[in-house]
Amino acid sequence: MTLELRDRITTEGVLSALGKDQKAFFVEVKEEIMSTNTQLKAAGRNGAADGTVLIARRQTAGRGRMDRRFESPEGGIYMSLLLRPGIPVEDILYMTTLTAVAVAEAVEEVCGIHPGIKWVNDLYVGNRKVCGILTEAVFDTDGGLDCVVIGIGLNVYAPKEGFPEEIREIAGALYGADEREEERRNRLIASVLNKIRQKSFPLDKRKLSIDYKNRSMVIGRWVTVCRGTTEREALVLDINEENHLVVRYGDGAEEALSTGEIRVKLQR
Ligand code: BTN
């Protein structure tokens, strides 16, 4: 059997791993999609139901934050979940933090591996990024929130040929290319979906903030804050209630950073 056929993601496998909880989701698995987020947002505009899940075995134009590309070779999980959560627009950010905690817990449950969260939405194992999250909103004609699409890219198995040169220093995977175990990815997907649902209804912001901070790998560390072309070193003091990163620069000035155009690099 080729590597690709071992631990294959299938609709039946995900549904079976979801068990009785499968009625909350409409799961579709495709061999190859440009971007599951782009496709699911279009479906959302056409009325796709709350709980629709689109999964690709590989993406040809996977998208990351800040218009970056997300490498999506066979071996990972590339999934998007559409929710109609009925929350105010300003609460959308909680969907991202909630998902970061949910994926970290699912990886622990299924794989026994403990990822840390790098503000705002990357999961790391050691000093390697293993997962990125891209949450996108679709608005109705009145500017209200129509639906949210949460995209998750999780590097489960390292690509046989290694990660591309540009991300080789940063990207990592939960397992080596040939460490495949049957049904692992279907179980991971099911666990992620269940945990997102449990944490969203009802949304407990206080608990979420505690869980998120407990997994943070930036608090107490020096980072480089990148804003446009400028870079400044700063010590991370806290992540506040609004999920802003509270930092202190070398000159003693403090600032609460919101996600927007800011990127934070860990210092090794
Ligand atoms: C990031 O690291 O900047 C976020 C990456 C998000 C990647 C996932 S893979 C599934 C979904 N479809 C996409 O095109 N992007 C997200």
What does the pLDDT average to over 22-29?
96
Q: State the pLDDT at residue 87.
A: 85
Q: Which residue has the higher pLDDT, 198 or 264?
A: 198
CA of 102 to the centre of ligand 1 (A): 16
Residue 68: per-residue pLDDT:
92
Judge if the beta carbon of residue 36 lies within 6 A of ligand 1: yes
Rounded percentage of the chain residues whose pLDDT exceeds 70: 99
Does ligand 1 come within 6 angstroms of the Cβ of 132? yes
Look at residue 150 and tell me whether its pLDDT is greater than 90. Answer: yes
Q: Which is it for strands 26-33 and 122-125: parallel, antiparallel or unpaired?
A: unpaired
> Is residue 262 predicted with pLDDT exceeding 80?
no
User: Residue 118's pLDDT is what?
Assistant: 93
Structure-token match 């909350």, residue found: 24
Would you say residue 4 has pLDDT above 80?
no
| The amino acid at 177 | A
Q: State the closest ligand 1 atom to the C-alpha of 153, by its place in the atom list counted from 1.
A: 9
Any atom of ligand 1 within 6 Å of the Cβ of 39 = no
Identify the pLDDT of residue 155.
Answer: 98
- Taking the C-alpha atoms of residue 39 and residue 95, their distance in angstroms, rounded to an integer, is 19
Alpha-carbon distance of 76 to 64, in angstroms, equals 15
> Which of 117, 81, 79, 110 has the alpha carbon at shortest distance from 218?
117
- Across 14-160, the runs of DSSP E, i.e. the strands, are 26-33, 52-59, 77-83, 116-118, 122-125, 128-139, 145-154
- Is the CB of 62 within 6 Å of ligand 1? yes
Q: Identify the CA nearest to 151 among candidates 56, 245, 84.
A: 56
- Per DSSP bridges, beta strands 77-83 and 116-118 are unpaired
β-bridge mates for residue 125, sequence order? 128
pLDDT band at 259 (very low <50, low <70, confident <90, very high): confident
Is 63 near ligand 1, meaning CB less than 6 Å away?
A: yes
* Res 243: pLDDT: 84
Find the 250 Cα to ligand 1 centroid distance in Å. 34
Residues paired with 245 in a beta bridge: 239, 257
Tokens standing for residue 55: 């999964």
Instruction: Give the Å distance between the CA of 62 and the centre of ligand 1.
Output: 6
Nearest to 16 by CA among 196, 154, 179, 189: 189
| Nearest one of 218, 263, 254 to 239, comparing CA atoms | 218
In the structure, what pLDDT confidence band is assigned to residue 122 with cuts at 50, 70 and 90?
Answer: very high
Residue 268's pLDDT is what? 61
Residue 1 banded pLDDT, cuts 50, 70, 90: confident
Instruction: Choose among 187, 177, 168: nearest CA to 112.
Output: 187
User: What's the token pair of residue 99?
Assistant: 């998902």
What is the average per-residue pLDDT within 85-105? 92
Question: Atom 15, ligand 1: which residue's CA is nearest?
Answer: 63
Report pLDDT digits (tens) over 35-84: 999 999 999 999 999 999 999 999 999 999 988 999 999 999 999 999 99
Residue 260 has pLDDT above 70, yes or no: no
Q: Which of 65, 123, 128, 134 to mutate to test the pocket of ligand 1 (most atoms within 8 A of CB)?
A: 134
Cβ of 96 closer than 6 Å to ligand 1, yes or no, is: no
Tell me: the pLDDT tens digits for 175-232? 999 999 999 999 999 999 999 999 998 889 999 999 999 999 999 999 999 888 889 9
